[in-house]
Chains A and B, each alone.
Chain A
């Protein structure tokens, strides 16, 4: 437990000091997105990595949070800090209610059902033009303010988003180490066995689904206030797949893995900027290769690879 906290403290320190290294400029902007994507990846990881329930529709909850915050603060001129919890509450309730029928399904059926849910949400964003602005998007969303500070620059947003992301990480690490975390892993391994031991697996799955949705909604709200413009295109099926890729590449069931996956997938397009037509192929190839050769994700695969190289070298030394 203390080792976990120490690791977390070091990580937080690195994150907070990073802006000193990268003094402003475009990279700051990218790092803000890494923060938001980390939050989303963690949300999905709780559901997928710990509880073992596939969701291909998480972009929908992200979008709901963004649009609810956006609409409440523009059309209804609510204070952003008030709109955010309202959005999270609405999304949480929605997820809770949908969770009961949807989580009766397993494996591929659950994947398809969540995919369908995500697409329906996306279509609603596109069609309810009077509320959401439709395909042209919603603009004029206000920046967040706290005390006298307006969060309208990349550096300020970086600190704001990462403080929240770090809190979410801490919360998730604690959750994973708690009784609930163990119950989740039990359900993942064998639903029936967990039930036999007294875990109300059905309720637990729905609760985690709702929690995952709430965190995604929060990420969406912050996204809306950082970008000040949102459009349905960012919340479609493609983004759900991106999130899934982040979690898988980073490592299922690992919070730091989510950070790795999010960071890699947010930075990769920047590095590949010259080879634009090839990036979609690289995504697909990455997914396939990771699942085939490193199913535990980078966070487990890299140490394992290192160990393998070291032991092989050791053996060769003795030969």
Chain B
């Protein structure tokens, strides 16, 4: 009986962790290309879910058309955000960047509240909701979708960053912006790309998790924070390390809530964050950074 319970905790934790991983990768992509932590990342998750809802209900599109249109609109929002808020910044100090991305996230959230109201909305699952039994534990088909899509995204990521010119150009920017500029890479365009890709990923995360957790204008806040934790654990990599970071976070949260205390569930994520930042800020898998003075 105990083993069944633990298996259930782990399985639930895996799927939540996959979501954190997707959001975390979004953080990492922007950070690696620009050095900015985009506090508004969580809001793209929210937009993905709510836009899908509108596509389904208002435009009456079928699911397979609603999803890409939701991703497309979120990407446009990401594009606008970079163009209007980030690029024109005259003094890009960390403080200013933190504040402007926080301000941007509040703005996006406020606009979402006006458009969709404060209610919670549900979205139908992709392929029904009959539970599937694994050992003594159960998961839903939606969980499988989440894991599958996360895997696909990781593969696409790997291919993009290591086997395409623009992907390699973005990696070059993350290693050394000035050098990248010197070899002819349009750094500003790379910055724009990174926002576009991250907002798309955030939207996808939001869409695949909405049938399970329902969606509302303020789901982005906590998800964004936990996604960031995943990214920190993974050392801000845009690859497998962050995914592992997300999964670890999801599983530890689930085990903690089940075995220790459900009230402190959210605190677990943040305690892990603090511990990692104090003891090993480069993440579990990163190499220590040196700072130029």
- Closest B residue to A279 by CB, please name it: B110
Q: Is A295 a contact partner of B274 (Cβ separation < 8 A)?
A: no
A109 to B35, CA, bound (A): 12
Q: Is A8 an interface residue (CB 8 A)?
A: no
Q: Is B89 a contact partner of A281 (Cβ separation < 8 A)?
A: no
Across the interface, which residues of A come within 8 angstroms of B113, CB to CB?
A: 277, 280
Among residues 44 to 91 in chain B, which have CB atoms less than 8 Å away from a CB atom of chain A?
85, 88-91
Q: Is A281 a contact partner of B90 (Cβ separation < 8 A)?
A: no
Q: Is A112 a contact partner of B277 (Cβ separation < 8 A)?
A: yes
Which of B99, B109, B110, B232 interacts with A244 by CB under 8 Å?
B99
A295 to B100, CA, bound (A): 11
Given contacts A127-B264, A288-B103, contact A295 B110 (CB under 8 A): no
Q: Is B228 a contact partner of A295 (Cβ separation < 8 A)?
A: no
Which of A109, A119, A126 interacts with B281 by CB under 8 Å?
A109
Q: Is B278 a contact partner of A285 (Cβ separation < 8 A)?
A: no
Across the interface, which residues of B come within 8 angstroms of A286, CB to CB?
A: 103
Among residues 268 to 292 in chain A, which have CB atoms less than 8 Å away from a CB atom of chain B?
277-278, 280-281, 283-288, 291-292
Q: Is B114 an interface residue (CB 8 A)?
A: yes
Across the interface, which residues of A come within 8 angstroms of B100, CB to CB?
A: 287-288, 291-292
Q: Is A48 an interface residue (CB 8 A)?
A: yes
Q: Is A241 an interface residue (CB 8 A)?
A: yes
- Kindly supply a per-residue 1/0 record for chain A positions 286-304, scoring 1 wherever the CB is within 8 Å of any chain B CB and 0 otherwise: 1110011001000000000
Among residues 90 to 123 in chain B, which have CB atoms less than 8 Å away from a CB atom of chain A?
90-91, 94-100, 102-111, 113-114
- Kindly supply a per-residue 1/0 record for chain B positions 234-272, scoring 1 wherever the CB is within 8 Å of any chain A CB and 0 otherwise: 000000000000000000000000000101101100110
- Closest B residue to A277 by CB, please name it: B114
A257 to B88, CA, bound (A): 25
Chain B min CB distance to A26 (Å): 26
Which of A54, A106, A284 interacts with B110 by CB under 8 Å?
A284
A245 to B99, CA, bound (A): 8
Q: Is A108 an interface residue (CB 8 A)?
A: yes
A124 to B88, CA, bound (A): 40
Which secondary structure characterizes the binding site on chain B? helix
Q: How many residues of A contact B (CB 8 A)?
A: 46
Across the interface, which residues of A come within 8 angstroms of B270, CB to CB?
A: 116-117, 119-120
Q: Is B267 a contact partner of A120 (Cβ separation < 8 A)?
A: yes
Q: Is B106 a contact partner of A113 (Cβ separation < 8 A)?
A: no
Q: Is A101 an interface residue (CB 8 A)?
A: yes
Q: Is B267 a contact partner of A119 (Cβ separation < 8 A)?
A: yes
Across the interface, which residues of A come within 8 angstroms of B233, CB to CB?
A: none
Q: Is B293 an interface residue (CB 8 A)?
A: yes
Across the interface, which residues of A come within 8 angstroms of B95, CB to CB?
A: 48, 52, 54, 252
What residues of chain B have their CB less than 8 Å away from a CB belonging to chain A?
31, 37, 85, 88-91, 94-100, 102-111, 113-114, 221, 225, 228, 232, 261, 263-264, 266-267, 270-271, 273-274, 277-278, 281, 293
- 7 A-B pairs within 8 Å (CB atoms) are namely A109-B277, A116-B271, A123-B267, A277-B113, A280-B109, A285-B107, A288-B100
What residues of chain A have their CB less than 8 Å away from a CB belonging to chain B?
48, 52, 54, 56, 101-102, 104-109, 111-113, 115-117, 119-120, 123-124, 126-127, 190, 192-193, 237, 241, 244-245, 248, 252, 277-278, 280-281, 283-288, 291-292, 295
Pairs of residues from A and B, 5 with the lowest C-beta to C-beta distance, nearest first: A287-B103, A284-B107, A284-B106, A281-B110, A107-B94
Additional A-B contacts beyond A113-B273, A116-B270 (7; CB < 8 A): A107-B94, A112-B228, A117-B270, A285-B103, A288-B107, A291-B100, A292-B90
